[in-house]
Amino acid sequence: MNEWYHWHLGRKLINAERYFLDKIMPKLLGYYLVQLGGPADYDFLSSPIPHRLRVDPKDLALGSNFIRAEFAELPFLPESIDVVVIAHILEFVRNPRAILTEIQSILTPSGYLVILGFNAWSLWGLIKLFKHKTFPWNGRFLSIWRTTRWLKQLGFEITERKTCCFNLPLGGFYCLTNAKWVEKILHFFLPFCGASYILVCKKRVIALTPIKERLQQHLAITKNYAKTTCHSSYEKN
Protein backbone atom coordinates (compact mmCIF):
# COMPACT_ATOMS: atom_id res chain seq x y z
CA MET A 1 0.00 0.00 0.00
CA ASN A 2 2.91 2.35 0.64
CA GLU A 3 3.65 2.56 -3.10
CA TRP A 4 0.00 3.29 -3.87
CA TYR A 5 0.17 6.45 -1.74
CA HIS A 6 2.56 7.91 -4.35
CA TRP A 7 0.11 7.44 -7.19
CA HIS A 8 -2.44 10.04 -8.20
CA LEU A 9 -5.38 8.62 -6.22
CA GLY A 10 -3.18 7.85 -3.23
CA ARG A 11 -1.94 11.44 -3.06
CA LYS A 12 -5.50 12.71 -3.41
CA LEU A 13 -6.61 10.52 -0.52
CA ILE A 14 -3.75 11.52 1.77
CA ASN A 15 -4.20 15.24 1.08
CA ALA A 16 -7.92 15.02 1.82
CA GLU A 17 -7.34 13.09 5.05
CA ARG A 18 -4.56 15.38 6.22
CA TYR A 19 -6.88 18.38 5.86
CA PHE A 20 -9.09 16.94 8.61
CA LEU A 21 -6.31 15.32 10.64
CA ASP A 22 -4.58 18.69 10.97
CA LYS A 23 -7.70 19.88 12.79
CA ILE A 24 -8.30 16.75 14.86
CA MET A 25 -4.87 15.59 16.05
CA PRO A 26 -3.74 18.77 17.91
CA LYS A 27 -6.76 18.33 20.21
CA LEU A 28 -5.73 14.82 21.28
CA LEU A 29 -3.11 15.10 23.99
CA GLY A 30 -1.01 12.65 25.96
CA TYR A 31 2.43 11.06 26.11
CA TYR A 32 2.22 8.09 23.73
CA LEU A 33 0.75 7.77 20.24
CA VAL A 34 0.74 4.56 18.19
CA GLN A 35 0.15 4.57 14.44
CA LEU A 36 -0.97 1.49 12.51
CA GLY A 37 -0.76 1.79 8.73
CA GLY A 38 -0.50 4.94 6.65
CA PRO A 39 2.36 6.13 4.45
CA ALA A 40 5.69 4.82 5.70
CA ASP A 41 8.00 7.41 4.15
CA TYR A 42 6.58 10.59 5.65
CA ASP A 43 4.67 11.79 8.69
CA PHE A 44 1.06 12.65 7.92
CA LEU A 45 -0.05 13.24 11.52
CA SER A 46 0.29 16.73 12.97
CA SER A 47 0.26 15.68 16.62
CA PRO A 48 1.86 17.40 19.64
CA ILE A 49 2.32 14.07 21.46
CA PRO A 50 6.07 13.65 22.12
CA HIS A 51 6.41 9.85 21.97
CA ARG A 52 5.11 8.44 18.69
CA LEU A 53 5.51 4.85 17.56
CA ARG A 54 4.78 3.12 14.26
CA VAL A 55 3.73 -0.55 14.26
CA ASP A 56 3.70 -2.82 11.22
CA PRO A 57 4.05 -6.60 10.66
CA LYS A 58 6.61 -5.93 7.92
CA ASP A 59 10.08 -4.56 8.44
CA LEU A 60 9.81 -0.99 7.18
CA ALA A 61 13.18 0.15 8.55
CA LEU A 62 11.81 3.44 9.85
CA GLY A 63 14.27 3.94 12.69
CA SER A 64 14.04 3.74 16.46
CA ASN A 65 10.33 4.61 16.59
CA PHE A 66 9.35 1.57 14.50
CA ILE A 67 8.08 -1.66 16.11
CA ARG A 68 7.54 -4.83 14.17
CA ALA A 69 4.47 -6.63 15.50
CA GLU A 70 1.12 -8.06 14.50
CA PHE A 71 -1.76 -5.61 14.69
CA ALA A 72 -3.84 -7.98 16.83
CA GLU A 73 -0.93 -8.61 19.25
CA LEU A 74 0.43 -5.20 20.12
CA PRO A 75 3.43 -5.23 22.52
CA PHE A 76 2.12 -2.61 24.93
CA LEU A 77 0.92 -2.76 28.52
CA PRO A 78 -2.81 -2.44 29.22
CA GLU A 79 -4.00 1.17 29.46
CA SER A 80 -0.58 2.60 28.50
CA ILE A 81 -1.26 4.39 25.17
CA ASP A 82 -3.06 7.74 24.92
CA VAL A 83 -3.91 7.84 21.21
CA VAL A 84 -4.02 5.14 18.51
CA VAL A 85 -4.41 5.92 14.80
CA ILE A 86 -5.49 3.21 12.34
CA ALA A 87 -4.92 4.16 8.71
CA HIS A 88 -6.61 1.77 6.27
CA ILE A 89 -5.77 -1.45 8.06
CA LEU A 90 -9.15 -2.95 8.95
CA GLU A 91 -10.03 -3.57 5.30
CA PHE A 92 -7.09 -5.90 4.74
CA VAL A 93 -7.12 -8.18 7.80
CA ARG A 94 -9.14 -11.31 8.49
CA ASN A 95 -10.50 -10.22 11.85
CA PRO A 96 -10.80 -6.43 12.17
CA ARG A 97 -12.74 -6.71 15.43
CA ALA A 98 -9.78 -8.47 17.07
CA ILE A 99 -7.62 -5.44 16.31
CA LEU A 100 -10.21 -3.07 17.76
CA THR A 101 -10.42 -5.23 20.89
CA GLU A 102 -6.63 -5.18 21.25
CA ILE A 103 -6.55 -1.40 20.90
CA GLN A 104 -9.32 -0.99 23.45
CA SER A 105 -7.19 -2.85 26.00
CA ILE A 106 -4.02 -0.75 25.51
CA LEU A 107 -5.74 2.65 25.51
CA THR A 108 -5.67 4.65 28.71
CA PRO A 109 -8.98 5.51 30.37
CA SER A 110 -10.52 8.25 28.20
CA GLY A 111 -7.90 7.55 25.49
CA TYR A 112 -8.68 8.17 21.82
CA LEU A 113 -8.82 6.01 18.72
CA VAL A 114 -8.77 7.59 15.26
CA ILE A 115 -9.80 5.36 12.35
CA LEU A 116 -9.25 6.06 8.65
CA GLY A 117 -11.01 3.59 6.40
CA PHE A 118 -12.21 3.08 2.85
CA ASN A 119 -15.92 3.77 2.80
CA ALA A 120 -18.07 0.98 1.33
CA TRP A 121 -20.89 3.44 0.60
CA SER A 122 -18.98 5.64 -1.83
CA LEU A 123 -18.08 5.92 -5.50
CA TRP A 124 -14.84 4.13 -4.65
CA GLY A 125 -16.92 1.35 -3.14
CA LEU A 126 -18.93 1.20 -6.37
CA ILE A 127 -15.77 0.95 -8.47
CA LYS A 128 -14.77 -2.00 -6.29
CA LEU A 129 -17.39 -4.07 -8.14
CA PHE A 130 -15.32 -3.77 -11.31
CA LYS A 131 -11.75 -3.50 -9.96
CA HIS A 132 -11.91 -5.98 -7.09
CA LYS A 133 -8.55 -7.58 -7.98
CA THR A 134 -6.39 -4.45 -7.77
CA PHE A 135 -5.31 -2.43 -4.75
CA PRO A 136 -7.03 -0.95 -2.78
CA TRP A 137 -10.23 -2.43 -4.18
CA ASN A 138 -9.13 -5.94 -3.30
CA GLY A 139 -9.82 -5.19 0.36
CA ARG A 140 -13.09 -5.56 2.21
CA PHE A 141 -14.47 -2.03 2.45
CA LEU A 142 -16.42 -1.41 5.65
CA SER A 143 -19.33 0.95 6.05
CA ILE A 144 -19.27 3.66 8.71
CA TRP A 145 -22.30 2.12 10.39
CA ARG A 146 -20.79 -1.35 10.75
CA THR A 147 -17.54 0.02 12.17
CA THR A 148 -19.49 2.30 14.51
CA ARG A 149 -21.54 -0.64 15.77
CA TRP A 150 -18.38 -2.61 16.59
CA LEU A 151 -16.89 0.36 18.41
CA LYS A 152 -19.99 0.93 20.54
CA GLN A 153 -20.03 -2.75 21.49
CA LEU A 154 -16.47 -2.32 22.77
CA GLY A 155 -17.46 0.70 24.84
CA PHE A 156 -16.24 3.53 22.61
CA GLU A 157 -18.00 6.86 22.24
CA ILE A 158 -17.94 8.36 18.74
CA THR A 159 -17.00 12.03 19.12
CA GLU A 160 -16.49 12.88 15.42
CA ARG A 161 -17.62 11.19 12.22
CA LYS A 162 -17.09 12.42 8.67
CA THR A 163 -16.03 11.39 5.19
CA CYS A 164 -13.60 13.00 2.76
CA CYS A 165 -12.05 12.64 -0.70
CA PHE A 166 -14.92 13.03 -3.16
CA ASN A 167 -12.85 12.92 -6.34
CA LEU A 168 -13.79 10.36 -8.99
CA PRO A 169 -11.49 7.30 -9.29
CA LEU A 170 -11.54 7.37 -13.09
CA GLY A 171 -7.86 6.92 -13.83
CA GLY A 172 -7.21 8.45 -17.27
CA PHE A 173 -10.17 10.84 -17.20
CA TYR A 174 -8.04 13.63 -15.81
CA CYS A 175 -10.60 16.35 -16.58
CA LEU A 176 -13.15 14.74 -14.23
CA THR A 177 -10.77 13.25 -11.67
CA ASN A 178 -9.31 16.68 -10.88
CA ALA A 179 -12.46 18.76 -11.29
CA LYS A 180 -13.04 20.75 -8.08
CA TRP A 181 -16.65 21.43 -9.01
CA VAL A 182 -17.35 17.69 -9.16
CA GLU A 183 -15.96 17.22 -5.64
CA LYS A 184 -18.00 20.15 -4.30
CA ILE A 185 -21.23 18.81 -5.80
CA LEU A 186 -20.65 15.33 -4.43
CA HIS A 187 -19.71 16.70 -1.00
CA PHE A 188 -22.87 18.81 -0.88
CA PHE A 189 -25.37 16.18 -1.98
CA LEU A 190 -23.63 13.05 -0.60
CA PRO A 191 -21.76 14.19 2.53
CA PHE A 192 -21.37 10.66 3.93
CA CYS A 193 -20.23 9.08 0.67
CA GLY A 194 -16.61 10.20 0.56
CA ALA A 195 -13.98 7.62 -0.37
CA SER A 196 -12.50 7.70 3.14
CA TYR A 197 -14.27 7.90 6.48
CA ILE A 198 -12.73 9.33 9.63
CA LEU A 199 -13.94 8.25 13.07
CA VAL A 200 -12.70 9.79 16.30
CA CYS A 201 -13.59 7.56 19.25
CA LYS A 202 -13.14 8.01 22.99
CA LYS A 203 -12.73 5.09 25.34
CA ARG A 204 -15.47 5.21 27.90
CA VAL A 205 -14.64 4.27 31.48
CA ILE A 206 -17.40 2.70 33.56
CA ALA A 207 -17.08 3.68 37.19
CA LEU A 208 -17.26 0.57 39.37
CA THR A 209 -18.34 0.75 43.01
CA PRO A 210 -15.92 -1.26 45.18
CA ILE A 211 -17.42 -4.35 46.84
CA LYS A 212 -16.51 -3.11 50.32
CA GLU A 213 -18.24 0.22 49.70
CA ARG A 214 -21.34 -1.50 48.33
CA LEU A 215 -21.42 -3.79 51.38
CA GLN A 216 -21.22 -0.82 53.73
CA GLN A 217 -24.07 0.88 51.87
CA HIS A 218 -26.16 -2.27 52.10
CA LEU A 219 -25.52 -2.62 55.86
CA ALA A 220 -26.39 1.03 56.44
CA ILE A 221 -29.68 0.69 54.56
CA THR A 222 -30.53 -2.52 56.44
CA LYS A 223 -29.72 -0.92 59.80
CA ASN A 224 -31.86 2.15 59.06
CA TYR A 225 -34.70 -0.06 57.92
CA ALA A 226 -34.46 -2.11 61.14
CA LYS A 227 -34.50 1.04 63.28
CA THR A 228 -37.52 2.42 61.44
CA THR A 229 -39.40 -0.87 61.82
CA CYS A 230 -38.66 -1.14 65.56
CA HIS A 231 -39.63 2.47 66.14
CA SER A 232 -42.93 1.99 64.32
CA SER A 233 -43.69 -1.15 66.34
CA TYR A 234 -42.90 0.65 69.59
CA GLU A 235 -45.29 3.50 68.77
CA LYS A 236 -48.10 1.04 67.99
CA ASN A 237 -47.64 -0.71 71.35
CB 73 within 8 A of CB 102: yes
Phi, psi dihedral angles at 229 (to 5 degrees): -65, -45
15 vs 215, higher pLDDT = 15
Number of domains the chain is built from: 2
Check residue 60 and give its pLDDT. 66
d(CA 37, CA 124): 20
Check residue 85 and give its pLDDT. 96
pLDDT bracket for residue 223 (50, 70, 90): low
In 74-224, DSSP assigns E strands to 81-87, 107-118, 156-164, 196-203
d(CA 116, CA 139): 14
Within 13 A of 180's CA, how many CA atoms are on the CB side? 0
The arithmetic mean of pLDDT across residues 46-53, rounded, is 91
Name the average pLDDT for the chain: 80
Judge if pTM exceeds 0.75: yes
| 177 and 100 both lie in a single domain | yes
| 133 and 80 both lie in a single domain | yes
* Contacts of residue 71, Cβ cutoff 8 Å, sequence gap at least 6: 36, 55, 57, 89, 93, 99, 102
| 137 and 60 both lie in a single domain | yes
| 143 and 106 both lie in a single domain | yes
pLDDT bracket for residue 173 (50, 70, 90): very low
Check residue 186 and give its pLDDT. 57
Per-residue pLDDT of 110-130, as tens digits, reads 999 999 999 988 878 777 777
CATH of the domain at 167: 3.40.50.150
Pick the closest to residue 191 from 119, 129, 127, 89 (CA basis).
119
Q: Beta-carbon neighbour count of residue 133 at 10 Å? A: 7
d(CA 234, CA 214): 30
| 198 and 216 both lie in a single domain | no
d(CA 99, CA 78): 14
Write out the residue range of the structural domain in which residue 215 sits: 210-237
Percent with pLDDT over 70 in the chain: 73
pLDDT of 17 above 60: yes
